Every structure is written in structure tokens, then in C-alpha cells.
Chains A and B, each alone.
Chain A
Amino acid sequence: MANNPTPMKHTLVGKNYTTPDLLAKVTGKAKYAEDYRADGMLFCKLLLSPYPHARVKHIDKRAALAMPGVKAIITVDDLPAPADSITDLGMVIKADLLGERGLTNEPVYQGEPILAVAAVDELTAAEAIEKIHVEYERLPFVIDPLDSLRPGGPNARVEGNVWMRNPPPPNAKPGPPPPLVRGILKWTEEDFAAAKEGQLPMGKATDEWMLGNVDAAMKGAALVLDETFVTPNVSHQCLETRSTMAYWQNGKVFVHTGTQSTFQTAPAIARWLGIDVKDVVFISEYTGGGFGSKITGGVSMIIPAILSKKTNAPVMMRISREEEHYIGRARPSLQGRMKVGFSKEGRVVAVDMFVICDNGPYEQMFDATAAGLIVSLAYQPPAMRWRGMTVLTNTVPRSAQSQPGGMQGITLMEPVLAKAARKLGIDQVAIRRINAPEGKAEFGAAMGGRRGHATSCFLKEALDNGAKLFKWDERKARSGKRNGSKVRGAGVAVSAFFGGSTGYDGLIIIKPDGRLSIQSGIGNHGTESVSDSHRVSAEILGIPWEKCDLTWGNTSKNLPFSCASGGSQTTHAMTRAAYAAGMDAKRKLQEVAAKALGGKPEQYDVAGERVFRKGGGAGMSLAQAAQRAIQFGGAYDGHELPKDINKATAAAATALAGQGLMGVGKDTYPHDGATFSYVASFAEVEVDLETGKYYILDFLASADAGTIVHPAAFGGQVLGRSMLGISHAIGQKWVYDQHYGAPLAKRFYNNKPPTILDAPANMQWAALDIPDPETPVGARGIGEPPVGGGCSAILNALTAAVGDEVIRRAPVTPDQILASLQAGKPVYAGLKADV
């Protein structure tokens, strides 16, 4: 255990409360991007590519430009050229000349925006779009990754079909791996022929790692299973589309759009617009969902900004639901093959994993890599080989989606574990328990001789807790037993994912009226970490939450350096930063009291909105202390700042100096290991064998995510993200016309996000609430692992009901069950993506 402060006695952490944004949400006053208006606001519409891959030869804009009310038309040539940029932390982001820019002259998926029109109103803009004639040269395209790997198969990009590393030159010195590039890789006919029907072919992989001796371990295994499975491409489908309004004033651009991360989106806008971040004002008080698709907004948000500059008027870009399906991001499918060796006791002795990620046309997704890491963590194989491919396709762009890669890795592995337990006669909970990580569990390959390890893990306890609450033994007893045409199945799955980062800043001020002002750079997209995290500062200072004022959602309001809210890192990262700010303010209160009243700072304590002599005696209210802090000046009221804080935090603190007693600090707390959270998910289903229709009767997710900061929000994450996983199991997927490269499921009614009637009637969550020893508050993020757990618990409950030879891909549809049961083998064993 690292040398962290002793756990706190909680007054706010762990308690439910009404978040400061909720009243506005229930009264309709909450303003999302499309709710803003500006004088003279123009509207923008996009012209979308009708082809999956083409080159724009000529654009005839004359008729559109001649229309009254049409103000400007922009193409990619009007956008700033990609340029290298340097992050706040000094990291250079290399420009990708083939990267996504928002508009393009070489559309690489159907629906990609080619140009944008600004007009006095939306109808005029739409009419103008109709009058623009674009001449295209059609180019080869590919929808399914395997088609692209076939000899002579089409390439999604002219420059290549896979993300790969060029081999280092001979005699090169050992160093970090070379950067990823788009290259061409084809497998041989023999590679394809070597796979049996329904098995994933395995040619040369672009990336791999090895742990231990896999071949030897497989030889010694009591049972070896070799299973192929396909997970679906699923769009994020945030209910708020990525509509954006932008205008320029005094040389600054003001952008209203949805984001997961307020502070971190301003630099993204600056990078995409090629301007200084100090010339960006980003406003996003409310965001209608992100799930990984809006980590720092999206590149399309620069379109209205560029149009606004060109027309010298505010521009609103309303994104329709169909457009959102094109530009709104999706989770990549993984086509995977898992060869897993088990001892007769059910211990996983070896994993040989091969995954192909359906990357879409743009930046590389790391889902294949994350899938391997998470499998190595969640099942602790002593020997493992991971091979991965990331193949470019002419399908809509991908991004991280809740538990990116981890969800798919868990979904590839869990059905194998379920099958092995049945073959070996071992209880499903027991086989997961004996393979579960614990404590400082290791994961991945050895880098420089050492493997990475977790901060802590209590998955075994979470499994035990869940099994007890779910009455696992009762459900197991009736699982697989037929009653008329119905059969029930009980399933369990474990899941894990990253749950936190470190090194950010907190910034608070105790005002002379005794109230606490909290500055937050966290995005407000529904997780409530935007306020939950900061309660730590209030708790340290003994200030009731009712006396706290939270400022969030506007980068002109002096916000501190905050993490990007992706991968559920925020609760961990920003409780640490809030702890740093709170402890800084507490120390200053003690010093102010000692200076004003005599004695030493350590003789003073802070509680009950006062700073006072321990054991009784002199003291003052926090309001008085704040007044004294302003008199004393220097560090006390923010005129002198710590050297280690981020320069943006320093600028924010400088702007706020002199207003009261300032607490400002960087999270430098020790942190041994990588932070992960874990969940054990349980489901019971009932399948009608005559119709293939099934219902989820009960669901429970038992979490290990450290200290719970806000139970209602925590439970909402556990069950909401479980529902996302369940949606992958029961129905959500893309369908592409493989001949024309056209997406067919691009509206809600044909890609079917779950409604409230699809949710299990009985859903419960539980959590261990054991503090993580490597972080002061003990809290880890919980938004990720429930996805893989939710999906896999349903799949495992289904196989418990209908057997192991039915399901080879998710989602599982009734016709898939029915056809496979009738044929006596998996009928839907095809490996194609997007069918």
C-alpha cells in the first residue's frame, strides 16, 4: 500500500443529494447547444456523400449561391490544414494528413459530409443543398474487414487497409515501437482455407504479444476450447445529436456544443481551427449523452465556426438523427477467436486470442489491444498470446464507447468460460472465482521485464456478494429445466476496465460570506461527476453542500486543469484533485487562524464552518478566516500560487485571486498500479423454444469500484451501462448493404435502442464500497465494466437455457435461436460484420 492519507470520515461522500443541475433538467431550463440563439443567427446544412468511397471531381455551386438567403458554402479547402500541435502537458500531437477533418473531397463512408451551406434559415440551406451538383469518381470500397484481407480484396483507403507498424530498419537501436501507419496487408488463400467453417481465419497479424509458453500450457490442459465469436458495431446514439452553434466576437470564437469534458474541449477546438486556445470560449453546461462519442466534442463542431467567420454571423448547425448516425461515432465490432486451455479444476492455463477490429475509415481504434489487456486481467491466464488486427473499412467513423475493447474482450471470453464450466462440471460462479484477479493483480505482457499491475481488486468478494443477493444457487437449480415450451437459464459474467487517472488540479475559494466557490472543468453529460467529485473539498472543510456554489460548463469562467471524461477516469482523478484543493485550503485556514489568534497552525482544527483551537479556545468562522486571508494576501488569497499546477489553473487562479481564501493544488498523491474497476453481473432469462423469443427476468450487477461517492449516480451508472451491454446482447447492431456499401439501420426504428420495456423488470445493483488503497478518497470510476458484464451475463444465461451450439454472434435474435435449435448447430455462424 502506498503512503496515502488515512481514509476520511465521510459527511458528504457516500451520501445521496440533489445535484445542482437537476432542477434545470426537470423544468426545461437546462440549455443544451441547440437551445441557444443569437441575433442574426444563420443555419447550416450539410451535403453528404452518397457513396462509401469516392473522389470529388467537381462541385457546381452556382445555382445555390444565386439563391437569395444563401450566405456561404464551404468545403474542406476552407478548413485549416492539419498541423502538429502541442498539448498543455507538452506532448506533440502529430498532424494526420489523412485524418478526419469534418468535410472532405475524398469521402470514405456513405454519409460523410462534403460541404456545408449557411443560409438565413434552414429550409433555404436545405434547398441550396439540393441545387448543388457534385461530380464523383467512385473508388473501391469494403465493408467487412475479412473481405479487405482476402488476396486482391479492396482497400478502404487508397493508402492502405490496415493500421500497422513498419518494421524497424535493420541495426536500429531498441526503443519505443515505431508509429502506426496505414499500410497494405493481405492474407493468403491458404490462410482462409485453414479455418474450418465458422472459424475465424488467422493470417499474419499486425500486432502481438506473448506471456509465458502458450503452446506448452495448451498441451498440458485438461480441456481446450477454440471458439469464434463476432460482436456488433453499435452506434452511440446520444439523444442529443452533435448540433453546434458558433460565433466570433473580439477575435474569440464562442462555441456551444455537447461534450464530455469542458476544460479539455477548448484545446481540441483550438487545434482543429488552428488558433490559440486563449481565443476559444467553449460553453457546454448540459450535454445530452456522450458514452465516448464526445470526449472532447467532435471535429464537425468546427464547421459552423468556419462558416461564422466567413459570414460574420452566428451559425447554428442542427444535426438530424440520420446525420448523427453518420457522423456520431460507433463502437467497432471485433471478430474474435479464442483458444483457451483449462485445467480439470477449471483454471484457465492458457489463452490464445486473435481479434480483428472493424476500424472504420479514420483514426486507429485500440479496441483490439484493450480487449487483450482486459482478458489478461479479468481471467489471469499464466500463459497468453494476443494477436490483433485493426482493419480499415468504408463504414462510419468509430470512437471509444463505454468500456472500449474491454466490453468486446469480455464478450469473446465469457461464453468460452461458460462452456468450459459445463464441460468440466464446475459451477459458473466457482470457475470465475478461481480465475478472478485479486489485490495487485498483474495484466498484459511484460514490458521491460515487468508486467503492469492493478491498484487493488476485490472481484472475488463482488462475485460472492452478487451470488448471495441474486440467490444464485436457487436459480442455478432451475436453470436449463424445461417447462412446456419455456426454458430458463441463469448466467453470470465478470468484467473489468480502467477506472481512473491522476495528476489534475483543484481550485476552490472560501468567500468572505463563508460560502465555498468550486471551479469545475469537468463536463456535464449525465454521470454527475461534475458535482460529485467536488464534494470531497466541501467535506474536508466541513462546509455544508447548501453553502457551496459550483461553476461549470464555460471555459471563460476560470476553470482549473481537469481530466477528459472518458474511460470513467473522472471520479478517481477529480476526487484526488478536489482532495488536493481541500487540503490546501484547510492548511491555509490553520495558518490564517494561527497568524490571527496566535499559536501554531497544527494546534487548529477545521470543522462546523469554523477554524478553532483543538480542545477549545480561540477560533473564527470560515467567513472571518476568508476575510483575514484577503488581508494577508500572498498564497492565502491566490496571489501566490504553487509552482506545480498547470498553467491554465494558474491563469484561472490569478483571475480569481483576492476574492477569499483560495484552495488550489495538484494531485501528487502516490499511486501504485493502474486503476481498474470490476463487476460481477448476473442474469436469468426465459426462452420460448417454439418462438425463439426470450425475456430477461432478473438482473443484478455487483460492483467493486472503491468508495462510492454518490450512491444514486453510482447505481445509475451500474444499471444504465449494464443496459448498454444488454442492448448489444439482445438487439443493437448495424446492417450494411454489402453490395452498395450503404448503411441500412440508420434510424431508431431499425437499429432499435432498448426502450424501458426491454429493461429487465427487476434490476438491482450492489457494491462492496471497499476503498481503493491507492487514492485518498478511495473512489474509482464505474461507468465501464458493467457493459461487458451486462452483455455477457445475458449471453451466458441464454446458453445455459439453449445450449452451447446456438450462439456465435451478438446480438442474439429469436430467429437465430430458433433456426440453430432446429438445425442442431449454429446457423448464424457467418463471420461477416454488419449483417
Chain B
Amino acid sequence: MADHELEDPGTSTPVKLSRRDVIKGVIAAGAASSASYLFRGSTASAQASAPGAVERLITLDVNGQQRRVDVMKQETLAMTLRYKLGLTGTKLGCDRAECGACTVLIDDVPRYSCSIFTHTVRDKKIVTIEGLAGANGKLHPVQQGVLDEQGFQCGFCTSGFLMAAVGFLKTNPNPTRAELAHGVSGNLCRCMDYDKILTALMRGAEYMRKA
């Protein structure tokens, strides 16, 4: 079977992940066919690996820090971030690349972390919502834009929208409203406050240009 480059619907950017890797990962789980969204290994449990599962200690570059972490072959980046690195700002809204709540930057490109195996991003720079503000706590211009415009309601989609917007603005710093809307169209907001969200992100884009 030929390897396929999967399209990440959030970014239309090919993800370097072969179909064979996906299948191998799923087989390794030894359980339901879509088990990669499930979580193995809580903070305190010491359950032995399932037969065939490959656990390995790897190093990830997350928010500028080198983080050593044990991951299963089929573990998604979202689960590693949330359950092993304590970075719960990345949200899970659907587990399957439909809603964008889990969007993070991988080498500056917005990606759905629920649909990326952690193993595939070992040599990449990962930025999550927690890494957006400066070390001194100064907000990223896009965060400041949202704060100033009271963008977003319940906030569950906010991290994903912010990461998608920041990634988009890195390559499109001066978008129209319509262009920026396209840039974040891989993210769902169920409060559907889209008009105010776009106003807030445009404000953030303006701050980014001035910064």
C-alpha cells in the first residue's frame, strides 16, 4: 500500500504521516480500532503495557522547553500535552480533526494535535496556548486583541482559535476579514460568536503588525 500524505483540514498542509504509521499505531493499541484518542497511563497508575504496545521515552520541544516524556506508539500529541505534560490549555472537542479546539503550532504551522501522533513531532518545535505569552507574562498581541474586544464566550474553543490565528498571521500578517475568517475556518465555536471573534482576531492582527 502506498504511503499517503494526510491533509490536515485545519491548514491544508500535508502532515508527514504515512498511512502505514496510522495503521501500525492502531494495531499496537490492541483494542478498538479508533483507540488513539484514548488515554493510557494516568499520573498515578502503573499499569503494564498492553501486549504489542511500544512505550518509549522521547524528547519534545514544547514552548521552548525540552520535555522528556514516555509515549505510546499510537498516542496523540493532544493526549501527551494534556495528560503527561500538564498542558491542559489545549482542548479536546471532538477527538477527530473536526473542531480545531486542539490546534497547536508545529514549526509555526497550526495543526490539530488530536490527529498527530506524538512520535512524529520529535524533531519539531511545538507551541501551545501556554507558550503564546512571553516569559515575562506579556500577552501575545493576538491574546491582547481578544482581551480588549471581549472576544469569545464560553472559551472552550479559544485556545484553538488563537493558535490557528497566530499561525495564519505569521504568513499572512495583513489579512482582510474574509481572509482571516478563512484562516480560522477549521475551528468551530458553538457559542457561534463568530462576528465578535473575527473582530477580536483582527484587532490582534493589528497589534501584531505594530509590535
Contact = CB atoms under 8 A, between A and B. Distances in A.
Interface of A: 16, 18-19, 21-32, 34-35, 37, 39-43, 68-69, 120-124, 126-127, 130, 236-241, 286-291, 318, 320-321, 525-528, 712-713, 715-716, 719-721, 723-724, 727, 747-749, 753-757, 759, 761, 763
Contacts, number: 222
Given A121-B45, A121-B47, A716-B150, A239 B39 contact: no
B135 interface: no
B94 to A, nearest CB: 4
Interface string B173-211: 000011001101111111111111110000000000000
A726 B147 CA distance: 27
A438 B198 CA distance: 36
A123 B35 contact: yes
Contacts of A16: 150
Contacts of A27: 89, 129-130, 132-133, 139, 143
Contacts of A712: 149-150, 196
Given A28-B159, A239-B189, A715 B196 contact: yes
A527 B31 contact: no
A727 B47 contact: no
Interface string B120-159: 0000000011101100000100010011111011111111
Q: How large is the interface on B (under 10, 10 to 19, 20 to 34, 35 or more residues)?
A: 35 or more
5 contacts: A69-B45, A123-B38, A287-B154, A321-B99, A763-B195
A68 B82 CA distance: 25
A756 B185 contact: yes
A28 B194 contact: no
Contact of B38 (A126, A237, A287): A126
Interface string B19-40: 0000000000111100101111
Interface in B9-66: 29-32, 35, 37-45, 47-48, 50
B193 A716 contact: yes
A613 B192 CA distance: 50
B92 interface: yes
Q: Which of A122, A291, A713 counts the most chain B CB atoms within 10 A?
A: A122
A22 B155 CA distance: 8
A333 B18 CA distance: 44
B152 to A, nearest CB: 6
A288 B91 CA distance: 10
B121 to A, nearest CB: 19
Contacts of A715: 196
Nearest to B160: A239
B61 to A, nearest CB: 18
A24 B50 CA distance: 38
B153 A724 contact: no
A743 to B, nearest CB: 16
Interface of B: 29-32, 35, 37-45, 47-48, 50, 82, 86-96, 98-99, 101, 128-130, 132-133, 139, 143, 146-150, 152-159, 162, 177-178, 181-182, 184-198
B196 A759 contact: no
Most chain A beta carbons < 10 A, residue from B35, B44, B185: B44
A458 B90 CA distance: 44
Contacts of A24: 155
Contacts of B30: 127
A130 B94 contact: no
Given A22-B150, A748-B94, A748-B99, A130 B184 contact: no
Given A123-B31, A289-B153, A291-B190, 5 more contacts: A28-B130, A29-B89, A286-B154, A753-B192, A763-B195
A315 to B, nearest CB: 11
Contacts of B32: 126-127, 130
A126 B150 contact: no
Given A126-B31, A747-B96, A26 B48 contact: no
Nearest to A128: B31
Contact of A761 (B39, B148, B177, B186): B177
B106 to A, nearest CB: 17
A320 B153 CA distance: 22
Contacts of B38: 122-123, 126
Contacts of B189: 239, 756
B197 A756 contact: yes
A35 B87 CA distance: 9
Given A126-B32, A712-B196, A747-B94, A26 B143 contact: yes
Of the candidates B129, B154, B177, B178, the one having the most CB atoms from chain A within 10 angstroms of its own CB is: B154
